[in-house]
Chain A
Amino acid sequence: MDGADIVLAIVVATALAFDFTNGFHDTANVVATTISTRALPPRVAVTLAALLNFVGAFLSLAVATTIANDIVDQALVTTTIIFAGLVGAIVWNLVTWYFGLPSSSSHALIGGVVGAMLVANGTSAIDFDGLAGKVLVPALIAPVLAFAVAGIGILVCYRIVGRLAPGPVSRGYRLGQVLSGGMLALAHGTNDAQKTMGIITLALIANGNLAADAAVPTWVIVSAATAIALGTYLGGWRIIKTMGSRIIKMDPAQGFAAQSSGSAVILAATHFGYPLSTTHTISGAVMGAGAAKRLSAVRWGVAGNIVVAWVLTLPCAAIVGGLVYGVTHLFGDGAAGPVIVAAAGVAFTAYVFVRRLQQGAAITTTAEGTST
């Protein structure tokens, strides 16, 4: 095994680590409303989401290189740049997870790769029009559109079932949430596991292990699906609490309206080839479902923190990605840089997890807002 193969192995491991953080970070958004309205017990909801994420990863096998397409000059992409971008994304995911804030893992990955690319090749390697059109504009559109759709949706729900006995109505919407939450989890698995598959495939092509037009290897599909499903199953409780009860206290109708609206927006955008963030969409839908009932029902301070995290995601991940590339490059073009940075990254991740565990274990939420 030569230096290039060692770097490739580190990139693959880092990509799977990113996929894992993507699972426990983003999928929390998907199941939070299901848990907070008691549509499903927490462990059942998370297990179901993990299974659907796993299945979703196999649904579409088109090579997902869109992270690099239209944003950076692919001819200049190296395994070291991919590695630095992944580390930038993982660090930002851990920071936002630590504070319980939902932020886009896709934006973190794009930010990390753009930052590393800027340090490696300068501004000429970045397609700023692509960055604006594919990332920044959708980041503005997704939450606003989901907010509006969920807001109108919940008003329609209340209009139709408003005079019925609350018991059967709540049971009905809880049942609906199993379906709408399942659709969200499936869409998430399809979208996000694909990004990791694309990144690993890109690294294999860059290293000469695969031809440029090669299909995604089966081991890549299985490992990416497993990593995102495992991450989903094991974590995300802090963000589940933020999404499920800190923004608004949801009733089952609001949970259903938020999830079904979020699914509709994501799938409509997918159908027309317009890239939207799952995180931004479902966060906007949750706020919309709350605000339509009563503006003061939304904790705008928490919503503001989430928006700040969204705004900071790209630049912060880019800064970390750029720094990691710079540090890696100090050790030359061989395997030494990635090995040292990866070892430091593992130590940092372990430190964050241990600190988090020392501060508090799993968080549970209830529809009535009592949380422990």
Chain B
Amino acid sequence: MPALATKVVDFGQLAEVIYVSLIAGVGISLAFSIVIRGAVRAGEHRRTRPVVAGAHALMAVIGLIVVLAAVVFGVSTMLSK
């Protein structure tokens, strides 16, 4: 039975799909949530605490770069298929 399962399923490839999906899927949710948090907080502190607002804006920009990089990677994956 294990031999049959190994013949039918490439477990190494499957493990790669699982951990890359987890990292990419959770990572994109994390990065975009940071964009939203950074943008909202930057807006809240814009007038009263400009330095804190700047730090939040920077955080939002970094998150956005990660999200856009993920989109570019996704499209390049489709193109290279």
Contacts and interface: CB of A to CB of B under 8 A. Distances in A.
A272 B17 contact: yes
B21 A160 contact: no
A145 B36 contact: no
Interface residues of A, number: 49
Contacts of A60: 78-79, 81
Contacts, number: 135
B37 A164 contact: yes
B74 interface: yes
B77 A153 contact: no
A148 B34 CA distance: 21
A60 B34 CA distance: 33
Contacts of A156: 26, 29-30, 33
A186 B72 CA distance: 13
A271 interface: yes
B55 interface: no
Given A145-B18, A268-B24, A261 B29 contact: yes
Residue of A132, A141, A150, A172 with most chain B CB atoms under a 10 A cut-off: A172
A156 B33 CA distance: 8
- Counting chain A CB atoms within 10 Å of each CB, the highest count among B17, B35, B79 belongs to B17
Contact of A264 (B10, B13, B28, B35): B28
Nearest to A154: B29
Interface residues of B, number: 38
Contact of B14 (A148, A165, A274): A274
A145 B75 contact: no
A102 B81 CA distance: 26
Contacts of A137: 8-9, 14
Contact of A164 (B8, B27, B40): B40
Contacts of B32: 157, 172-173, 176, 256, 260
Given A173-B36, A265-B25, A141 B30 contact: no
A130 to B, nearest CB: 9
B52 interface: no
B20 interface: yes
A355 to B, nearest CB: 38
Contact of A62 (B9, B21, B81): B81
Contacts of A180: 28
A115 B7 CA distance: 24
A269 interface: yes
A257 B24 CA distance: 12
A215 interface: no
B62 interface: no
A160 B7 CA distance: 43
Max chain A C-beta neighbours (<10 A), residue from B18, B27, B43, B79:
B18
B58 interface: no
Interface of A: 56, 59-60, 62, 129, 132-133, 137, 141, 145-146, 148-150, 152-154, 156-157, 160-161, 164-165, 168-169, 172-173, 176, 179-180, 183, 186-187, 190, 256-257, 260-261, 263-265, 267-274
25 contacts: A59-B78, A59-B79, A60-B78, A133-B8, A145-B21, A150-B25, A153-B25, A156-B26, A156-B33, A157-B32, A165-B40, A168-B39, A173-B32, A176-B32, A179-B67, A183-B74, A183-B75, A190-B78, A261-B28, A264-B21, A265-B17, A267-B24, A270-B78, A271-B20, A274-B17
Given A148-B22, A150-B25, 6 more contacts: A129-B8, A149-B21, A156-B30, A160-B33, A261-B29, A272-B17
